[in-house]
A and B are shown apart, each in its own frame.
Chain A
């Protein structure tokens, strides 16, 4: 089983739609959780950290369920500019690497 798994995608949604991505991780000792965004032929960039209580940043909402080892990202009112690959990232204790999921590609269509 891979350490971090994501919805395979791609997701093709119309502008204005709400879309949700799911991610599961296998290491119960993981401590930090993130969503990164990667545009075509660009480097990954931090979208948001994910906190235990859940957090929101504008149209983006991230949730963490430690018991189920599950992370989600919800995008409301999708924009064309949201088209990208979304990477789920998990980090463990000191000395542990950041582990990236394979990514879920989103295409927002006009």
Chain B
């Protein structure tokens, strides 16, 4: 499809397990973002990739969270030793670049439930 694609759509995992969430950005978009949104709350920035630059990891809440982007396209967000407070929807977004004139587009999200 033409939009941002995320998988899985839904994931239920046991506390302490690791999970991987995948994002396939819009073709040609060099910037990729991960956000987290807990139920009823606002968007929480996690990490962003721009081209070949070092990613901005300033939003990652703990060292259990990591992300990589291979080949400048697909990105994987990994959460190790999941905790119940990690339950949220994880939203991936992409844009053609950053700065003036660029617009950010979101995927439908990966809903994570830690039980």
Residues of A within 8 A of B (CB): 31-32, 34, 41-46, 49, 87, 89, 91-103
Contacts and interface: CB of A to CB of B under 8 A. Distances in A.
Nearest to B107: A43
B50 A95 contact: yes
Give chain A's interface secondary structure class.
Answer: loop
Interface stretch (B11-19, B60-68, B94-102): B94-102
Nearest to B39: A41
A87 B97 CA distance: 20
Contacts of A101: 42
Interface of B: 33, 35, 42-43, 45, 48, 50, 53, 56, 89, 91, 93, 95, 97-109
B48 A91 contact: no
A97 B56 contact: yes
A87 to B, nearest CB: 7
Contact of A94 (B45, B48, B91, B98): B98
A26 to B, nearest CB: 15
